Amino acid sequence: MSMLGKHHISISIGSGLLLTAPWFLSAPVSVTIFIAGTIIGSLLPDTDAADSKLHYMDGIAKFFSLIMRPVVFPLTGYVFYLLRQPFNPSHRGSMHTFLGLAVYTSILAVIINLGLAVLGFWNVLLLFFTIGLSFGGLFHIFEDCCTKSGICPLMPYSKHWFGGGISTRDHQDKRPEQYSTGLIVLAVGIMIAEQHFRFEPLQVAPFSILIFTIAWVTIYIMSKSSAKRQYRR
């Protein structure tokens, strides 16, 4: 089973907040826009499936739902062709790989920033949104490595399969909710400590990255995630 859209959103929000916690109080608008991009980005890999949560959302999410399949997918496949790499459009295929993430987020960044620049609506804050898209997609890959379905994020360069024990169709399994709650609590803790001890954001950033890394190692341990050499499909 793969992770549900709501879990991708909540865990990605927690992950994004944990990484940006040092700047939340000093640059709340930039962080909020980054998190908004992270939310959308956390759903983009699953647009390779007809039942993606993104297809049922309104607002700005609708824009991404409309352009992913008819525009971004073909362009991503074409870039793979130029790179002489196979493109797998099926669910948990190329869109769930680090190469696919790099390609489709680059395409989206060009479409969004160039399009709004031509229309005269470009703002530097858009950079935080597009960076958030990339991190959201990255978190999605991390999250799917915790599920029973698993993915091969290193394809086409490696056929290693990464998966764990999370089955989100099992409503008794509360680990996804525990992960998101834990990440958010850690992020809030960093914000409080920064304010209390009057640290500068750059002083806190290395600690935030360390906590993020430890948190995700813990998540993989709790999910019983592992890697296998054989490509599982």
Domain ranges for the chain: 5-225
pLDDT confidence tier of residue 49, bands split at 50, 70 and 90: confident
Which has the higher per-residue pLDDT, 152 or 69? Answer: 152
Give the start-end residues of each E strand in the chain: 161-163, 226-228
Residue 223: which H helix or E strand, with range?
Answer: helix 201-223
Determine if the pTM surpasses 0.85. Answer: yes
Task: Dig out the tokens for 169 from the structure.
Answer: 């169709």
Are 132 and 139 contacting, i.e. CB atoms less than 8 angstroms apart? Answer: no
Which has the higher per-residue pLDDT, 40 or 231? Answer: 40
First to last CA, the chain: 13
Name the burial class of residue 126, with classes exposed (0-12), middle (13-18) and buried (19+) by CB atoms within 10 angstroms of its CB: middle
